[in-house]
Amino acid sequence: MPLTAEQWIEIEKGFRDNFPHSVGAIDGKHIVIKCPNNTGSEYYNYKRIFSIVLLALVDGNYRFIFADIESQGENQ
């Protein structure tokens, strides 16, 4: 994840021609999993499958800037 304004400006340059003022492209994906033991419907989603959610942000060169994988529970 960029830490300075200058780093964010460098990322924006990769989008400038097609998407001015953008600093990333974001998307999410349900990753199908086998139902974990003793979780009930905690990982069950509207698509009627068990899954976790992957959320990712990429720069203009398709490099990951940030990624988050959904977790359940207080200790994670």
Residue 36 DSSP one-character state? P
| C-alpha span between 27 and 43 (Å, rounded) | 19
The string over 12-26, giving b where at least 16 C-beta atoms fall within 10 Å of a residue's C-beta and e elsewhere, is bebbeeeeeeebbee
pLDDT, mean of residues 39-43: 90
pLDDT(74) > 80: no
pTM attached to this predicted model: 0.73
Residue 6 DSSP one-character state? H
